[in-house]
Amino acid sequence: MSKLYMLTETSKFMMSFVIVTENDQAIVVDGGRPADMPLLKQYVGGRHIAAWILTHAHNDHITGFISEMQKNGGADWDIGTVYYNFPPYSLIDNHDVPDYKYMAAELNECLPAFFEVEPLFHDKAHVTAQGETVQIDDCRIDFLFSYHEGLTVNLMNDSSLVFKVTTPQKSVLFLGDLGPQAGDILYRESRHLLQADIVQMAHHGHMNVGMEVYAAVGAEACLWCAPEWLYNEEEIPDYLKDPAYLAPDSSRLRMYGTRMTRNWMDILGAKTHYVTMNGTQEIDL
């Protein structure tokens, strides 16, 4: 039997998971920021990391990984393969998008630092794509979504890898930080593949995929990478009322606070809620 650990925040909020397989290998998802590395190291416990999956290039997900590479090329970790699929930095030349300023900021947040250290782990890097499957001991990983061109108004979140980890007992769907627009595409392309026992709530529970995605998943348990303020956020917080933010693209009107997502999950009958604000969570898979 595998075990899933959802690590609590050391930095202000972030996403970090460790799966320990039945043969005692580790699968790491993201890892958070540099401040989150000691806790991650503790849960990896020196195991071989058969897969380190980086969902998308935002600071609360991959700056910890980048900092470990900058420090000593990742020498403190026994890494097998690093899976990722990030948008190309060359999008910076495309000014003909609804909100260029936002897109440019997204591209500059982590990508330059990531590609600077990439040569240090190049032989372990694998740019994965939707449709790929990886088997690690009792865990099968099916990649169900990867970066689609043209999703620029929520560029980095909408480039999140979506994947399902299936063991003989349980399945967990990881949605990364996927937003409404990419969620629509995921639903259209792959709704028949989404069913899972457990779901990682997209984008920490807010400004995320639509209710129909969660309906297709039909999970009984939810994983919330959220501190208290975020878990208890109202349906439409002030920053999602700002016309300047909403105006460039109507898909931003489908971004809601966490309360809305919690309402959906209640309607859909999810029974168990694991939340990082309550500490590191341990789940049998």
Minimum Å gap between C-beta 48 and Fe ion is 27
Minimum Å gap between C-beta 15 and Fe ion is: 5
Count Cβ atoms below 10 Å from residue 267 Cβ, excluding itself: 11
179 vs 210 by CB, closer to Fe ion: 179
Mark the segment that binds Fe ion (CB under 5 A) among 79-87, 97-105, 164-172, 173-181: 173-181
Residue count, binding to Fe ion (CB under 5 A): 2
With contacts defined by CB under 5 A, name the span among 56-64, 182-190, 236-244, 254-262 that binds Fe ion: 56-64
- The interface region with Fe ion, picked from 118-126, 148-156, 175-183, 207-215 by CB under 5 A, is 175-183
Contact track, Fe ion, 201-240, x by CB under 5 A:
----------------------------------------
Could you give the C-alpha distances from 160 to 95, 107, 176, 208, 248, in angstroms and in order?
22, 14, 5, 11, 21
Assign 67 to helix, strand or coil.
Answer: helix
**Amino acid sitting at position 138:** D
Stretch that binds Fe ion, among 140-148, 170-178, 246-254, 275-283 (CB under 5 A): 170-178
By CB under 5 A, residue 60 contacts Fe ion: yes
Nearer residue to Fe ion within complex by CB, 94 or 232: 232
Q: Is 158 in the site for Fe ion (CB under 5 A)?
A: no
Angle, vertex CA 214, rays to CA 188 and CA 106, nearest 5: 70
Q: How many contiguous H segments (helices) and E segments (strands) does the chain have?
A: 8, 14
* Residue 177 lies near Fe ion (rule: CB under 5 A): yes
Nearer to Fe ion, 72 or 232 (CB): 232
* Shortest Cβ 249–Fe ion spacing (Å): 20
* 169 DSSP assignment: S
Q: Round to whole Å and give the CA distance between 230 and 204.
A: 8
Question: Is the Cβ of residue 166 or residue 258 nearer to Fe ion in the bound state?
Answer: 258
End-to-end CA distance of the chain: 6
Other CB atoms within a 10 A radius of the CB of residue 95 amount to: 8
Those residues with Cβ within 8 angstroms of residue 30's Cβ, 6 or more apart along the chain or in another chain: 14, 15, 16, 17, 53, 54, 55, 61, 62, 64, 65
Longest distance between any two alpha carbons in the chain, whole Å: 52
User: Which of the ranges 54-62, 64-72, 74-82, 179-187 carries the binding residues for Fe ion, by CB under 5 A?
Assistant: 54-62
Q: How far is the CB of 138 from Fe ion (least distance, A)?
A: 28
* CB nearer Fe ion, residue 157 or residue 167: 157
- Catalog residues that contact Fe ion under the rule CB under 5 A: 60, 177
